Amino acid sequence: MALALQRRANVRLPPEVNRVLYIRNLPYKISAEEMYDIFGKYGAIRQIRIGNTPETRGTAFVVYEDIFDAKNACDHLSGFNVCNRYLVVLYYRSNKAFKGMDIDKKTRRIGYFEEEVWNFI
């Protein structure tokens, strides 16, 4: 046990590696229990969020307690076959996820203000 902790202390991970995994191409009817069975083999899981809206169906977020468990799961489960669907496992990148939302939000806001200006004139 102490040897494993010592090895982890000496390992330097790439900057994109974090505890949160973004999973795509999931079967739409997968349950939380099945997700825990698949991803729990690689370490302690803090949380699993499965998409339930039409835009997020087939996706999920898996949050591990330890970054090394998340890296291990990402390495082993990327391309894993679940119900004839191959999983796409990526590290969650908040700056990329919110970047698109900000652009959409700004476009809607600009469209709203243009409409208000035209209604005012």
Residue 52: CATH number of its domain: 3.30.70.330
Residue 82 domain boundaries:
17-94
Q: How far apart are CA 84 and CA 27, in angstroms?
A: 9
Residue 25 lies in a domain: yes
Q: What would the two tokens of residue 13 be?
A: 């991970």
Cut 0.75: pTM above it: no
Residue 81 lies in a domain: yes
Q: One digit per residue, pLDDT tens: the chain, 121 residues?
A: 444 554 556 677 777 788 999 999 999 999 999 999 999 999 999 999 999 999 999 999 999 999 999 999 999 999 999 999 999 999 998 765 555 555 566 555 555 444 444 444 4
Q: State how far the alpha carbon of 37 is from the alpha carbons of 12, 21, 48, 59, 98, in Å.
A: 29, 16, 11, 16, 30
**Residue 84 CA, distance from chain mean position:** 21
**What total number of domains does the chain contain?**
1
